[in-house]
Amino acid sequence: MKHKTESRERVPFWLRWLVPVILVLTWLALAGVGGPTFGRLEEVSSNDQASFLPASAEATAAQDWQAKFRDSDEVPGVIVIESDEPFTPAQLGEVAALRADLEELKLGSAVIGPIPSEDGKAVQFIAPISESEVEVQEAVKELRDLVAGAAPEGLRTFVTGPAGLAADLVAAFAGIDGILLLVALAAVFVILLVVYRSLLLPFMVLLTSVFALCAAILLVFGMAQAGWIQLNGQSQGILSILVIGAATDYALLYVARFREALTHTTNRTAAALTAWRTSFEPILASGATVIIALLCLLFSDLNSNKALGPVAAAGIICSLFAALTLLPALMALLGRTAFWPFRPKLAPADEREPELVTGLEGQKGLWRATGELVRRRPRTIWIASVLLLAAASAGVLQLKANGVPQTDVILTASNAVDGQDALARHFDAGSGSPAVVVADEGKAQEVLDAVKAADGVGEAYLLAEGGVPITGAPGTPTEPDVREGKVLINATLNSAADSLEAEEAVKALRVDVKAVDPGALVGGVTATALDTNTTAQRDLVIIIPVVLVVILFILMLLLRSVLAPVLLVLSVVLSYAAAMGVSALVFNNILGFPGADATVPLFGFVFLVALGVDYNIFLMSRVREESLKHGTRPGILRGLGVTGGVITSAGVVLAATFAALGVIPIMFLVQLAFIVAFGVLLDTVLVRSLLVPALAYDIGPKIWWPGKLSRPEAEERPDRDEALLAKTPAG
């Protein structure tokens, strides 16, 4: 009792009550403002394909020229009406009458059609939708309702093309906020209940995560409203998952140090401050690593990547602040009550700082067994781990990350995807999404001839004012629209606009037209996909080395070493390669995906390497702390034992939160969910638990080279380890 009273006298009233209460109230105010903002993100969010374009690619330049030829920003909606048998004259008459109904909707400029197919089994209309007049998804719904109700009985109707696909993509993201958040929070809550066996503590940790997300949403909303960032459904979903996972991870580390501190003192404020001091450096280093790695996405030439970097970094910043301010304040107010009904007890004085001989003293169960295995067979363990990871990495050769057709992006039933299939059955597959050539006025005819002769091109026309093709038919325009000395040519491809065959056709087309007009540009849907894939592969070469250098520098500052950080980075890179290898096998042979988006390897790298290093930071910062007291080899085993439970729990939580991304029926997010979830578990179970400790133990004090800890220590000589172990009690 005397000890308890003295402890309270050492901590002033303002620190015991005033500061924690102010911090909690401040976060309550932030949550009160940020929470309602969650429902307003749609105001500043867009899934427009323009937000994903390569910033400096040829397709982007071509699109800028297209905008100069248009009085309004229109997206074509392609209406397809299909029959199993050739249309009868009566059916053709009914279908032709649809044009008047479509015009009455006044969605954009003049409707083109009806255009019958050569086999007589399908008819298409092209209905331009002006984005300045109506939302694309609303316009597509109107078109689908109208066509389905007015088409002759027994015919199938579709609204596809860029407008239809965009509308279905938006629909796939519908409800992303609520569903994703509920799934992630439910998974985390169940895991925390199992880990802590406490009724109150899981709520405190989740409260920290949710408040961090509210602050992040407020920050991101402000940045998007100011025009600093472009928010889309993809980055919005990743933000929620990243904040919940990261904030929970940081909270788990703090709570572990707080619980440990409560075994040394009866003063809850002193325990909270001790936990803050001992967890501040690893949490800050971990957060800084992820933040800087995410900001490296600003080096990307893809607008979608540039947008995600600041959005996700803002989320991690809020996670850091919540874990280092709100959670300590809550723990300082609650003390041991937070762990009810299994409250930590004050340990006897002689057990608070055990004298270590091997590093296994005081450990029990799984982590003592793991430490014993590492101590006895370090070289066998790390070599076997490296070989296992290397074998798994071989699967990366089967990764087909060169893009997928847009029709494969949406994993649920899609009227637009079915419509693209119908188009391919009856028309030039690229109709509705032509390649667009921007050429000099003086070379218009020469370029047009080159386009018509190009492989993979069905039809090509110069465009008159209003985007009307110049076909030479009586009554049609004869003079091309000229803007600033440029003309436009539309080229319908023989292959579906989102197919790999169409991309090859665009590559050949670019070569052909530039031979005639070096300044010509080839754009359109296919060119955009091609340039996006090319840019994504270029980003891999540039961003990955930058991220590795940044992480290496942070680890060197944290561990005061060169060798240890180099080995840690190599281990995480090998773990990433193994995760990608296994993912490739799963995608190809189990899930049956046709490939992967070209940005998947980069996103997987940024998240896996940055988050994977987190666990090595948590481990090695504690190992260094213990090594300063007891020597390197005992410090490694002690650090492994005391961090084993918390890091494993953190890994499971992060894997579960990222796995929640799989509820969104978008191939990119499903693939990212699997890669990160599997990779985090691999890093937690194998790399951090076996590979890194065994390698460090085998190397010994030299792991800290060239720091002071790298000097040889007599008690760490292998011949003495065995002798001292014989004198150490097994418990």
Q: Give the start-to-end residue ranges of the domains of the chain.
A: 12-44+175-350, 72-167, 361-413+533-711, 434-523
Residue 386 has pLDDT above 70, yes or no: yes
At 510-530, the pLDDT tens digits run 999 999 999 999 998 889 888
The pLDDT of residue 510: 94
361-413+533-711 and 434-523: same fold?
Answer: no
Q: For domain 12-44+175-350, which architecture applies? A: Up-down Bundle (1.20)
The pLDDT of residue 175: 56
Say which residues have a Cβ less than 8 Å from residue 557's Cβ, sequence separation at least 6.
285
Residue 537 has pLDDT above 80, yes or no: yes
Dig out the tokens for 156 from the structure.
């199938």
Residue 119 has pLDDT above 50, yes or no: yes
Model confidence band, residue 1 (pLDDT cutoffs 50, 70, 90): very low
Residue 490 belongs to what H/E stretch? strand 486-493
The pLDDT of residue 361: 65
Q: What percent of the chain has pLDDT over 90?
A: 29
**Between 3.40.50.1820, 1.20.1640.10, 3.40.50.970, 3.40.50.300, what CATH number should domain 361-413+533-711 receive?**
1.20.1640.10
The class (CATH top level) of 434-523 is: alpha beta
On whether the CB atoms of residues 114 and 424 are closer than 8 A, the answer is: no
At 479-504, the pLDDT tens digits run 888 889 999 999 988 887 777 788 89
611 or 145, which is more confident?
145
Dig out the tokens for 325 from the structure.
């301010």
Q: How far is CA 319 from CA 205, 327, 443, in A?
A: 11, 11, 58
At 207-234, the pLDDT tens digits run 999 999 999 999 999 888 888 887 776 7
The CATH number of the structural domain formed by 72-167 is 3.30.70.260
The pLDDT of residue 365: 79
The pLDDT of residue 731: 29
Q: How far is CA 606 from CA 217, 289, 306, 675, in A?
A: 22, 10, 13, 11
| Cross-strand partners of 436 | 490, 523
Mean pLDDT of 413-431: 82
Mean pLDDT of 697-711: 87
On whether the CB atoms of residues 438 and 484 are closer than 8 A, the answer is: no
Residue 197 has pLDDT above 90, yes or no: no
**Which stretches of 455-499 are DSSP H helices?**
none
At 309-339, the pLDDT tens digits run 899 999 999 999 999 999 999 999 998 998 8
